Amino acid sequence: MQQFQLEPLFHIIGIGQASGLIYKNNSLYIISDNGSRLLEFDIENQTQSNTFLFENAVSVNIPKKEKADFESIANHGDDFYVFGSGSTANRNIMVHYNSKTKATKTVDTTALYSKMQYLSAIDALNFNIEGAIFTGEIWYIFQRGNGLGGKNGIFTIHGKSFEDTEITYHDYVLPNIKGCPYGFTDAVLVENQLYFLAAAEDSKSIYDDGDVLGCIVGSINITTQLIEFTLPISDKRKFEGITLYKKSENQIEFLLCEDDDSDILESDIFKLTLNTK
C-alpha cells in the first residue's frame, strides 16, 4: 500500500465550511460553500484579506436555500474561477476573479450545466459539481455521485469560453465503505495525473448532509482515463479541497481543506504527503 502522512498545518480564523483552495505564490486562496467571498491567506506573514464575489456581499453562513454553494475553484495565471455546485437553480453560477485587476465577473452556467446533464444522463436532482481544473485550454469538471443516481464522473471541456465547446464525459466507479460509495469532492492536475479526493457520507441526497464515513485520495491518468490508485486517508474527516504544495523526486505534498458542516468560522488546513517511490 502507498505510504502517506496527514498532519494539520494551519488554523485559519474567519472562514468555515471550506470547500476549495488554491496554493499560489506562498498564499492560500480559500472558498466556502456557505459564503460569498474568496479569502487570501498569506502564509509568510500569517495575514488574510477578502474579496467579495458579489456586489454588497457581506454575509457569512448564508442560509442553505439562498447560498450559491461554491464547491470548486480553479486557477490559471492571474485568473480564478469559482463554481456553484448546480445542485439547485440558484447554484448555477460561476464567478471569474482576476487577482491583478481585482475585477469580478459573474457567469450564468445554467445552459452549460443543462448541456452537461443531458450529455451524462444525470438529472437535475443528482447533478452536483464539486471540483474544477483549468489548464488554459481544457477544463476538467468533477461530478460528485452522492445522490440516488450515484454517478461519479469527469466532464472534459475544450476552450476557455463555455459557448459552442466540445464536451465529453467519463463515468468512474469509486470504492465504497459500509455500502456507501465515495464521491468526488475535488481534484488537482499534476503533470499527467488528476489527483482527486472523494468522501463518503451516510446520505442519499446531494442537498442534505449525512454522517461522514471516510475520505480517500486517488489518481487518474489523463491519457488512459484509468484510476491508478485509491487510498483511505481518514475515517472521520470530509476533505473538500486539494491543491499542490510541493513536489520532489520521491514525494508529493498537497494541502487539503475540510468542510465540517459547522457554522464556526474556523478552518484547519492539512498537509498530505504521498511517497511516490
- Among 130, 148, 84, 136, smallest CA distance to 110 is for 84
**Average pLDDT of 252-265?**
88
Share the mean pLDDT of the chain: 91
Q: 161 is written with which cell numbers?
A: 469560453
> Could you identify the residue written with the cell 504527503?
273
Task: Give residue-wise pLDDT tens across range 83-126.
Answer: 999 999 999 999 999 999 999 999 999 999 999 999 999 999 99
Specify the pLDDT at position 71: 93
What DSSP state is assigned to residue 90?
A: G
Task: Give residue-wise pLDDT tens across range 179-214.
Answer: 888 999 999 999 999 999 999 987 665 545 668 899
Specify the pLDDT at position 1: 45
Give the amino acid at 48: Q
- The mean-pLDDT minimum among 54-58, 127-131, 145-149, 155-159 falls in 54-58
Specify the pLDDT at position 57: 65
Helices (H), 62-185: 110-120
What H or E segment, with its residue span, contains residue 189? strand 183-190
Domains of the chain: which residue ranges? 4-275
Task: Give residue-wise pLDDT tens across range 45-74.
Answer: 999 999 988 876 666 778 888 888 899 999
Between 261 and 128, whose confidence is greater?
128
Instruction: Indicate the pLDDT class of residue 162, thresholds 50, 70 and 90.
Output: confident
Q: Is the pLDDT of residue 78 over 90?
A: yes
User: Which of these CATH numbers, 3.20.20.70, 3.40.50.360, 2.120.10.100, 3.90.1150.10, describes 4-275?
Assistant: 2.120.10.100
**b vs e for 225-258, b when ≥16 Cβ sit within 10 Å of the residue's Cβ?**
eebeebeebbeebbbbbbbbbeeeeeebbbbbbb
**b vs e for 81-96, b when ≥16 Cβ sit within 10 Å of the residue's Cβ?**
bbbbbbbbeebbbbbe
Q: d(Cα 195, Cα 206) in Å, to the nearest integer? A: 22
